[in-house]
Structure 1
């Protein structure tokens, strides 16, 4: 398996289990199954159509759609035709879509389910050919079913090469223009082959796809791990049906991001308030029954591998899930190595860490604390950007830009960003990540952003957790003030936090406070709260915005 490239792996399952279901797609509440044989037929027809439309091997083709079976089919078709996929985030601004399409010189775009298709259409230049997946979407030159019906399946099997450019994944970035990460067929293949082998994922497992496939994490953890394990993947139909779809599918492998793990917790607490849940869980037999019912209600009663990634998750939230019998394994990876990084394996979890390196991945901490990776899963470079490529890839090592520390057992902790360190007005440097990690241990904290550039002392902006909103303001305030006092007792004088500022408005992708991969945009928050910060009362360490 480890030496099979993606098309070879697809053909392996096509030979071994042609009539087994690989993809499950709900449409208007009805589930439609796609076998490996059916995926092969549709992918070959689409590959034939793309070549007939003038695409030549090596050309770039964009994918702009929410998760669906046809996304996977399209990706296989592009590989069959020797084309390079350029996934686009379905909630991107039209200006960013236009930038990526022009930068990658895309000839064709496949569009599918979108929330605001007419708005996004303004970012697609007229010369780019549009093909519609079989869902309501923007006006296109070709629709899925008629296009496939007009073309015979592509004959033969193309010999995929390990070093060929399979996909360009554009990073969302916290600042600046997106960078196009060039990933080869070999790099993407090794990531999935090694991961599925290490975690023992096989055809009897079940994936559930709902996070954007334009991001390396979902593409690696779900799409490619499904392809390499032979396990079926089911898709969510819509936001409204998410909960019922998840309960219907009951995945054995489930990936989410911290913000959504918090949302799942909120759904539980809306039905069963924290105080009552705490009482029930303390009763031995009844507690186990309640926990089992909660797991079933979430649709995670069969889940054996639960993953959190893309951003830091609070240990308080991880502990909450462990109490109901769900151990969430935090991991760490980047687009630049197809998310193949460090991971807390089931049964080998250390909260507060992002786990140990995966097989065949070398980890090194540079003298300045920067995390370096070396592996055969690394990117080829940034598309059309040799300068940034040379900066990121040096002597075979990927310079992540993140800082970390490794304990005696090999577990990695993220301690900050190389460029996130700020200087207070006293001329002292402060690394925010370790302090943010300590603040996030409080159960009332969902997200935190420490800032202090040119201030006398750092301060923390805090978005409260759903559980906090169910408590009295007095209780939350008292606990946070205690937490602040304990925190400061362990910090150096120049690191001590002057204020906890509890913000009203959630930080989201829509309001620009977070990237599409759910990372906090520190510069946006600093600009947004600058006026508030300037008038903080010195005598009031806890402030409700």
Structure 2
């Protein structure tokens, strides 16, 4: 089977699905033992990976704990977590029972978080530690709907001064293990997320997205991204943003690909070398920083190196134009570009590709405009 056939078959599987949890569960009988999610465990000081079966089993534990916490279909559950296996288990565990995830931005202010929790009428919050919760609790906003707060890295403190019960993750999950409470799963018309804007033009506003909204976006994006079996994604943009949530998370896992969570922007170069991703979602500033570093290095290498670099970029961009029917070039120039291509690969392009892990074949920029100069440079080096 060719990569193209594999891509079409997996995309066809996704287009038969109607709700988000099926993006994981539909793999169980056909590729359940394949790697799904990977992250760095700072306590163990090693990378850990879950298969699709292991991820689904863990998501079921979260679902049972959420049910045991009294949340019914349509109730809101919020998370304030970095990109992680726990963040995915929260999301899937919430969605399995027809509840609505409210993803908070990990670097948002305590006041903004408190406002969103109140405005969304969130009943359950999963948060990294006590310190973040105490800051939200003291933000001066009443949270009458919030009943339970779960700490990932700390033990619970019992009932807080505001009347909210706090628990550590293991204690909370243990409560749900024996749960046999009934639940009602979602339909495609039910809410799949309540994603809040940043609030830069006033108070944050909640965007209501249904399962059908998101699954429709996924179906359309598959034509452009065209992932195949064996693709690997590196995720570092926050899952509180719909762009990363829909692509690296939902599409990556939906296609049966392995998704690795980066340790953060400061470690991204190390993570690229470790993961060697084939697909990566990013924002313009990351690519702009890469292009700026390349140009800084060129300044120290003299005019000959700069000439070869610019020639490689121009030849690569001309090839891109020809392949996409954007321009027709002189046959002599085309032949010369083809002859020099191995030289450009060896002296210029491979070095740049290796800094991204050496296997990157799809790099998407979203969220803002990418400058023409940077786009031309990166395309020419691709």
TM class by shorter chain equals 0.7 to 0.9
Aligned residues: 323
Single out whichever of 11-20 and 306-315 deviates more from structure 2. Answer: 11-20
- Contact conserved, 1:23 with 1:234, CA < 8 A, in 2? yes
Call closer, same or farther: CA 1:83–1:119 in 2, change over 3 Å: same
**Structure 2 residue 259 is the aligned partner of structure 1 residue 233:** yes
TM-score of the aligned structures, taking structure 1 as reference length: 0.54
Call closer, same or farther: CA 1:243–1:263 in 2, change over 3 Å: same
Q: Distance in 2 between matches of 1:157 and 1:253?
A: 37
SS of the residue corresponding to residue 218 of structure 1 reads: helix
- Contact conserved, 1:131 with 1:141, CA < 8 A, in 2? yes
Q: Deviation of residue 85 (structure 1)?
A: 0.4
**Structure 2 residue 297 is the aligned partner of structure 1 residue 297:** no
Larger relative contact order (Cα-Cα within 8 Å, sequence gap ≥ 6): 2
| Residue deviations 1:262-300 (CA, integer Å, cap 9, x gap) | 12223444544376452342484553222211211232x
Call closer, same or farther: CA 1:198–1:101 in 2, change over 3 Å: same
Q: 1:30: which partner in 2?
A: 46
Instruction: Note the residue ranges of structure 1 that are not aligned, 5 or more in a row.
Output: 326-545
Q: Deviation of residue 199 (structure 1)?
A: 3.3
**Structure 2 residue 15 is the aligned partner of structure 1 residue 2:** yes
Call closer, same or farther: CA 1:113–1:249 in 2, change over 3 Å: farther
**Structure 2 residue 200 is the aligned partner of structure 1 residue 186:** no
- Contact conserved, 1:196 with 1:202, CA < 8 A, in 2? no
Call closer, same or farther: CA 1:138–1:324 in 2, change over 3 Å: farther
- Contact conserved, 1:208 with 1:235, CA < 8 A, in 2? yes
**Structure 2 residue 149 is the aligned partner of structure 1 residue 130:** yes
SS of the residue corresponding to residue 106 of structure 2 reads: coil
Q: 1:13: which partner in 2?
A: 27
Q: 2:324: which partner in 1?
A: none
Call closer, same or farther: CA 1:153–1:234 in 2, change over 3 Å: farther
Q: Distance in 2 between matches of 1:159 and 1:52?
A: 15
Call closer, same or farther: CA 1:171–1:231 in 2, change over 3 Å: same
Q: Distance in 1 between matches of 2:284 and 2:178?
A: 42
Call closer, same or farther: CA 1:316–1:55 in 2, change over 3 Å: same
| Structure in which a larger fraction of residues adopt helix | 2
Q: Deviation of residue 311 (structure 1)?
A: 0.7
SS of the residue corresponding to residue 169 of structure 1 reads: strand
The within-5 A match list for 1:422-437 is none
TM-score of the aligned structures, taking structure 2 as reference length: 0.76
Q: Deviation of residue 217 (structure 1)?
A: 0.7
Q: Deviation of residue 118 (structure 1)?
A: 6.0
| Residue deviations 1:478-506 (CA, integer Å, cap 9, x gap) | xxxxxxxxxxxxxxxxxxxxxxxxxxxxx
Q: Distance in 2 between matches of 1:252 and 1:81?
A: 33
Call closer, same or farther: CA 1:117–1:306 in 2, change over 3 Å: farther
Call closer, same or farther: CA 1:157–1:52 in 2, change over 3 Å: closer
Q: Deviation of residue 232 (structure 1)?
A: 1.2
The within-5 A match list for 1:125-164 is 127-133=146-152, 135=153, 141-152=166-177, 159-164=185-190
**Structure 2 residue 376 is the aligned partner of structure 1 residue 319:** yes
Q: Distance in 2 between matches of 1:272 and 1:153?
A: 62
Q: Deviation of residue 115 (structure 1)?
A: 11
1:74 to 85, 90, 96: 90
Q: 2:249: which partner in 1?
A: 223
- Contact conserved, 1:67 with 1:212, CA < 8 A, in 2? yes
Q: Deviation of residue 229 (structure 1)?
A: 1.1
Q: Distance in 1 between matches of 2:137 and 2:279?
A: 35
| Residue deviations 1:164-197 (CA, integer Å, cap 9, x gap) | 1111111225412221111111111121133225
Q: Deviation of residue 119 (structure 1)?
A: 4.5
- Contact conserved, 1:24 with 1:32, CA < 8 A, in 2? yes
RMSD value, Cα:
2.8
| Structure in which a larger fraction of residues adopt strand | 1
The within-5 A match list for 1:104-503 is 104-112=120-128, 119=135, 122-123=138-139, 127-133=146-152, 135=153, 141-152=166-177, 159-273=185-299, 276=302, 278-281=306-309, 282=311, 284=340, 286-289=343-346, 290-299=348-357, 301-325=358-382
Call closer, same or farther: CA 1:248–1:191 in 2, change over 3 Å: same
